[in-house]
Structure 1
Amino acid sequence: MYSIDPVPLSHDGPSDIALWRIDIDFTASLDAPAFASLSDDECTRARTFRRREDALRFASIRVALREQLALRLDIAAHAVRFALDVNLRPHLADSNRFDFNVSHAGAHGLIAISPVRRVGVDIEQHSDRFAWHSIAALTLDPEEAAWIGRLDAGQQSAAFYDAWVAKEALVKTTGVGITRGLRHLTVLPRESKRVALRHQIPDDMRDVAAHWLAAPDGYAACVAWSATAFP
């Protein structure tokens, strides 16, 4: 019988953050019992995706998230209810005991949950056809773009993805930074697993930290968290 089995991941962040990787099976059927915990709205949303792969990514991650939250809330997975805050960031509708965040790309997804702090994750799949220069002005500080440009051609794309996942994880932790774009954060050059925010640090990022994660071949990933407890 088909099942969705999250893989626990180690990381260098606070011990209260639980992190998992979900490996997507694109041969699965949305009618499988493994997806029974989805709400009617989630089932409808899954079936509106034009591409089967997108539907299975969404459904698989949501099921895994429901199951992990249900274990912590001591309720049934189908009873977990979600809502959106003013920044359209998902949260638990009936409890503020846990914060969570998800991301998916290609054949993998990430879930982070904490009972203490806000969390953010991002995973991206490298693409040989992607020209990072085309969105550099929207995502990179000019000094970051110049630094990547000085790398060997074979290293440039990977460096861009490192910057992308770090910035996405950071702004997803607060929810606010997304509306300001990614250029206001400077995370390159990368010197270790720890993401170092460089130059002037925006006020909404002074309480946030992040580490890059070991990712499957051809992927980049990052987890971020707030230093203090969420409301």
Structure 2
Amino acid sequence: MHFIDPVPLPHDGPSDIAVWRIDIDFAESLNAPAFASLSDEELTRARHFRRHEDALRFATVRAALREQLARGLGIAAHAVRFAADANHRPHLAESDRFDFNVSHAGEHGLIAISPMRRVGVDIEQHSDTFDWHSIATLTLDPKEAVWIEGLDAARQTAAFYDAWVAKEALVKTTGAGITRGLQHLTVLPRESMRVTLRNQIPDDMREVDARWLAAPDGYAACVAWSATAFWR
């Protein structure tokens, strides 16, 4: 792999938001030309991961992000500079032309970029051995947990991950997120690709919208954004 080829993902959100899926090649080396744009700090960070798969996820998505931002900024990918805000949310260090967000899990990653509004993405891989009940109180509204329990066993895991990615994407969009926890966002039952916030909506979520994305088999994915364009 001498380059990373992001796959554009369609969505029915604002046209200024671009979303790509990144496919990870775990046979690759961190010394590959595809990662030449990474900074020394990024390469060091990648090499500190204990598992090669985790290193490749981080390096592949970061290199792809650099390429996409570089195209928009009109500079070389290695010249893109990053910083982090008080909530550790990454942003461009020397420009406010784009907001972006990334996520990765399993063999795939997601990138969302917008020149006009804040964005958030999340992708998760379903696990057959994961018991969603073990973290239900931390992630689900009680009514969501009851709704999932009413599904057949084969659909329960997928429904849980739908809720998880939607809430993570929404929180990542706000930057600070909500202080009370994911269980105070209610997005189930799911009725379409649009994420509908149900019950009482927290103040920091009133101007945020989201859509579930078409994801590879065994994955769930979502993109979220600030409803009001204010970034530029």
The question of 1:128 aligning with 2:110 is answered: no
Provide structure 2 residue ranges, at least 5 long, that are not aligned to the other structure: none
1:1-231 superposed matches below 5 A: 2-177=2-177, 179-231=179-231
Is the Cα contact below 8 Å between 1:187 and 1:198 reproduced in 2? yes
Deviation at 1:180, TM superposition (A): 3.3
Deviations 1:143-189 (A, max 9, x none): 10111111111111000000000000000000222543201100000
Deviations 1:177-204 (A, max 9, x none): 2543201100000011100000000010
Deviation at 1:23, TM superposition (A): 0.3
Is the Cα contact below 8 Å between 2:178 and 2:204 reproduced in 1? no
Identity of matched residues, %:
81
Aligned residues: 231
State the one-letter code of the partner of 2:195: V
TM-score (ref. length: structure 2): 0.98
CA distance in 2, matches of 1:78, 1:10: 28
State the one-letter code of the partner of 2:97: R
Classify the secondary structure of the residue corresponding to 1:72: helix
Provide structure 1 residue ranges, at least 5 long, that are not aligned to the other structure: none
CA distance in 1, matches of 2:20, 2:176: 25
State the one-letter code of the partner of 2:133: H
CA distance in 1, matches of 2:229, 2:129: 41
CA distance in 2, matches of 1:119, 1:190: 21
RMSD: 0.9
Is the Cα contact below 8 Å between 1:172 and 1:178 reproduced in 2? no
